[in-house]
Amino acid sequence: MTARKQIKEKLLIAIILIVLLALLTALALSGGNLALIKSLFAKDLSTEELMDQLMGLGWRGYLAITVLSTLQVVCAFLPAEPVQVLSGFTFGFPVGLLLCMTGVFWGSTLIYVLQSFFGDRMRTFFVKNLKLDLEKIARSSKGILILFILYLLPAIPYGMICFLAASMGIRYRRYLPVMLLGALPSVCIGVGLGYMTIASDWIVTVCVFSVLILLLIILFLKKDTLFSKLNNYADAHKKAPLTRVKNANGFLMTIVYSLLRVYLFFGGVKLKVVDKAGKIDPPSIILCNHGSAIDFIFAAALLRKYKPNLIGARLYFYHKTLNWLLRNLGAFPKSMFAADMENARNCFTVLKKNGHLVMMPEARLATTGRFEDIQENTYSFIHKAGVNVYTIKINGSYLADPKWGSGLRRGAVVEMEMDLLHTAEEIKTLTLSELRQHIDDRLFYNDFDWLKNRPNVRYKSKFLAKGLENILMTCPVCGKKHTIVTKKKKISCEQCGDLTSLDDRYAFSEGFRFKNLTEWYDWQKSLIAEEIAADPNYTLSSKVELRLPGNGNSLTRHGGSGVCTLNREGLTYTGTKDGKNVTLQFSLQRIYRLLFGAGVNFEIYDGPEILFFVPEEKRSAVDWYMASMLLHDEAGKLAA
């Protein structure tokens, strides 16, 4: 946001606030209340008479105090104490407390709602102003206690604490009691002070006010030290990793699977299943190739009766609802292509409980409908586990719903075959190299070669080519990058004009340089390989938006902006992260492959945290994937 827009926004907020306060004042003083207020200063009243007079303000006064209390929560820069003192002074302690707490209730609820719309910007604001490490607090087992501590500090506005709590992803049913109980002590003090001004000796009141002011001054001067101690306290009490794996809920699994099969039916996708394995003996590992995002539906067709546990990308567990659904379906998270001890413990937990562990060892969707390589430590885990190993080979799923595509293709046929690969006894006799070869041979697939032997399969979609520009980024005619555009079945270059089109079997029109998208993709990959080989200083760079794990209401949230650079040293991000200037570096040894969303982003996991980079040219996301692959493999060959 530009500085001019920020100024305009602040002015608009100030004007709205002034108007609201003016309207509240007019409301409170209407209906004869103005005359009543004047009489308070015109007559020499006793304490009892003064209280009787003030209680005569009626429902307008009650409403004004409640709304003011709500506003001081929502508008975090407004102090709470004046409203509370006014409430206690005007309506006495019990009624004043009730009015203020009602305002806290509505204000806290409104903030919880606002967080889902403006949470990213609010989060950045609070990090800058409170200097609290929200990530540490959210991951701390003492997060709730820290919120209560903040409420006890008179220098911290309620609204900031509410936004902090909401940004931690706490569910509303837990969030609201914490906010109300946290606010209660300080509201009691504020309302009590107001009541004391008319019910107690003025000397006592002045003394209490003086102590509070002194505390405010001390806290203001020591706030950075205090926040640092809270950050350290949160860091010292990290939540233990969630190692418990839930057993799949059979009823829920049946409902979800039935709905997804209906989705496939109306999407025009036919499923053919061959089960050569018969009964699966536990404990077992079931390996499945991963051509499409809907492969888990196909796997469920064979496995749901066994209630297996499935490994899923940690990204999908950031969302509260998805997290609940996936865990109750027996799934648990993994940080892809990153060290993840939590996931390793969960895997062994499943096997020790005599369960069935489902893995898609390629760990990402196929880019061009062909088998992607598997990370070495995956083979090592399977070898070390020493249990029965089964495979599910899926063909046609990529063509039914490609990574870059827009929805299912009617007429698609998906074939799947399950079989035993090795028994636990056989695994013990194999070397790691032999096991690796057997897994690769069994899971290897090429959907375009598979399609050649099925001449009757035809794919119907008005937008068959839509999205191809997100993996085919180099024009084979002019050589320009990121000039490819698609419309329905046509593929064009912004420089050269029409290039080709897709027929109903994913083939390019006759006479075009490439037969299908795999040839085009391989050609452009070879160009990047040549560029890397020829340039010892090869560098890929882009301005990016950084997105971080969501707060429970979304998969990701805005985390900052900066520049990403990829070269032989690895990946470097220089920019902001939650309002702080940072430089994050990842060596090529840590980057097996940069995961990417076609036309969306490229990403890397740092422990349990995803760093989700959105480049300026979103079509370039596939560049980062291919370059990271080539650089990592080159580094591996040199090291060998």
pLDDT tens for residues 78-120? 666 677 777 777 777 888 888 888 888 888 888 887 776 665 5
Conformation bin of residue 391: beta by default, left when phi > 0, alpha when psi is -120 to 50: beta
C-alpha 33/C-alpha 15 separation (Å) is 26
pLDDT tens for residues 323-340? 899 999 999 999 999 988
Percentage of the residues of the chain whose pLDDT score is greater than 90: 52
Residue 134's pLDDT band (boundaries 50, 70, 90)? low
pLDDT tens for residues 279-324? 999 999 999 999 999 898 888 889 999 999 999 999 999 888 898 9
C-alpha 403/C-alpha 406 separation (Å) is 9
Q: Output DSSP code: residue 264.
A: H
Compute the mean pLDDT over every residue in the chain, rounded to the nearest whole number.
Answer: 84
Q: What is the CA radius of gyration of the chain?
A: 31
Domains of the chain: 14-236 (no CATH), 250-452 (no CATH), 468-530 (no CATH), 536-639 (2.30.29.30)
C-alpha 296/C-alpha 358 separation (Å) is 10
Match 């938006």 to its residue by tokens: 545
C-alpha 602/C-alpha 584 separation (Å) is 15
Pair of tokens at residue 187: 């509201």
How high is the pLDDT of residue 259? 92
Residue 40's pLDDT band (boundaries 50, 70, 90)? very low
- Model confidence at 231: pLDDT above 90: no
Q: Using an 8 Å Cβ cutoff, are 137 and 57 in contact?
A: no
Percentage of the residues of the chain whose pLDDT score is greater than 70: 78
Residue 50's pLDDT band (boundaries 50, 70, 90)? very low
